[in-house]
Amino acid sequence: MHGYVIQNGSLLKFLDEHHDPRYVPAVEYVVGEGYYVFGDLQNSATYFIRVPERYPSSSYADDSYFDYLQCLDDSGAISRMDLVNYYAKYIERFPNGNHVTVVQNRMDAYRTGAR
């Protein structure tokens, strides 16, 4: 029953209707991580991107945006040059973020074709 609530969009609807910034970013981040662990990159990315888009001042925004990018990277559906652009947006958005070094290294590797 609980899986059905997540799968049919009821959880997203509930979070949209009860958008308390004290709790919702943490819930969305944790649900995104759960989907990631089980290899559901599409749903994981959906939950991760909601945090920085809807709650940009949340303490989860930085990690959630990086994890969203990780989902895009892991999916293999986006070209390396497009990923470079997405990673550049991370640095624009979080110039002192927790993942700047990793992001910069990936951008450099993708530009040179090393990865």
pLDDT digits (tens), the chain, 115 positions: 344 445 566 666 766 667 777 788 988 999 999 999 999 999 999 999 999 999 999 999 999 999 999 999 999 989 999 999 999 999 999 999 999 999 999 999 999 886 5
Any idea which residue has 């990923």 for tokens? Answer: 83
Tokens describing residue 83: 């990923």
What is the domain range of residue 20?
Answer: 2-112
- Give the number of domains in the chain: 1
28: exposed, middle or buried (Cβ count in 10 Å: 0-12, 13-18, 19+): buried
Looking at residue 24, its pLDDT comes to: 85
Total-model pTM: 0.84
Asked if 78 and 86 count as a contact pair (C-beta separation under 8 A), the reply is yes
Radius of gyration of the chain, Cα coordinates, nearest whole angstrom: 15
CATH code for the domain in which residue 68 is found: 1.25.40.10
β strands within 49-107, DSSP E: none
